[in-house]
Amino acid sequence: MNNPEIKSLFKYKPLNNFTLDIIANNRIYYPKPESFNDPFDTQCSFKNSSAIIESNDQDKIKKAFPNEDPNEVLAYTRKDLTGDIDSFKKELKDFGILSLAKMKKIY
C-alpha cells in the first residue's frame, strides 16, 4: 500500500444474503461502472486530445534542419490521442471497480 498511514479500509454494503455470502466465502465483488448509482463516477474528460512527444523521424528532422546533424537535434511533434482516449474509455467499461473508504462510518 502506498499510504502507510492508512491501517484499514472499509466497504459499506447492505446486510443481505449477498453480503453474507461475501463474508462467508472470503470474496468480494468488483462491479462494472454501468451498475454504479452515479453515472458520472467514471466519466473522464480530457482538456486536450493531443500530446507533445519526442520525435525520432529522421526524414522530417533532415527536412526541417537541413544543415544540422539529425542525431544532434531534439525534435518534438504533436500526437493525436483521440484514438487512445477512446480506447481507454471503452476498456474502462469492462473493468470491475472496488470502492473503499478509509474512514469508518459512525451512526
**65-69, 70-74, 84-88, 97-101: least confident range:** 70-74
What pLDDT is recorded for position 1?
A: 54
Half-sphere exposure of 107 (CA within 13 A, CB side): 1
Q: Is the pLDDT of residue 7 over 80?
A: yes
Q: What is the pLDDT of residue 25?
A: 95
Find all residues with CB under 8 Å of 32, minimum gap 6, and list them. Answer: 93, 94, 95, 96, 97
Per-residue cell: 8: 484499514
The whole-number average pLDDT for the span 89-106 is 83
Cell of 102: 478509509
